Amino acid sequence: MHNRYALGIIFRTPEYGRVKKRLALEIGAEKTLSIYRAMLTTILKKVVNLKYIDIYGFYDGSFPEEAASRFSEIPLVHQKGKDLGERLYNAVDYLYVRGYGKIVLIGSDSPDLPPEYISETFSGLDSFDIVIGPSEDGGYYLIGMKKPVDFLFTDIPWGCPDVFKKTIFTIKTQGLSYYLLPRWYDIDDLKTLKRWLISVEDKAL
């Protein structure tokens, strides 16, 4: 018997030249690959400790052998869909048809995301249709819902600074209730990478 709550991590398999391309322009593909591996490992280690939640990894690329061996308790599912919207929707649908009543998706770009934000999302879904965490770059770092909602993932300008704004507009237009988490940041460039590394150093002291 599984839990009724599921958390899906959306990520790319760490492969040279395929991850964090903006950051790679600043520090090179080799260093970027190493950083991305560390980001993914950090987020997986963090969520594995969450209680009463089943964790799934949805990967893009070849099968992530390293993640599979280090985190054997996390089922890994290949992403399906032509664009990010389809992939997100299909991940929610995959978990919904398996009986989960609350479903949350996060990416691997916020390795120091406070775990309490994830817990707050599952609590928020008791009272709201959608829970969403806005990111500082105009997107969102987390979205939670109780069932697949296809219009949340269609006609969204993925990769642009209006993703969050457009998503909220769609939620309001469709008459759904929503709850906002605090703003957080994604690691996309050298500036945000340094922000994460400073926070790691501070926690190590």
CB atoms within 10 A of CB 82: 7
Residues 6+ apart with CB under 8 A from 94: 8, 56, 58, 77
Compute the 3-state secondary structure of the chain and give helix, strand, coil in percent, each to the nearest 5: 40, 20, 40
CB atoms within 10 A of CB 191: 11
pLDDT in tens, 46-96: 999 898 999 999 999 999 999 999 999 999 999 999 999 999 999 999 999
Q: State the pLDDT at residue 203.
A: 60
Residues of the chain predicted below pLDDT 70: 1-2, 201-205
How far is Cα 181 from Cα 161, in angstroms, rounded to an integer? 18
- Token pair 């389809």 is found at 86
What is the value of pTM for the model shown? Answer: 0.95
CATH number where 93 lies? 3.90.550.10
Per-residue tokens: 26 = 């600043």
Q: State the pLDDT at residue 1.
A: 45
Range of the domain at 32: 5-204
How far is Cα 106 from Cα 88, in angstroms, rounded to an integer? 10
Contact criterion met (CB below 8 Å) for 20 and 32: yes
Rg (CA), the chain: 16
φ, ψ of residue 118 in degrees (nearest 5): -70, -45
How far is Cα 140 from Cα 106, in angstroms, rounded to an integer? 9
Contact criterion met (CB below 8 Å) for 42 and 111: yes
Question: Considering only CA atoms, which of 119, 2, 15 is closest in space to residue 67?
Answer: 15
Number of domains comprising the chain: 1
- The gap between the terminal CA atoms of the chain, to the nearest Å, is 41
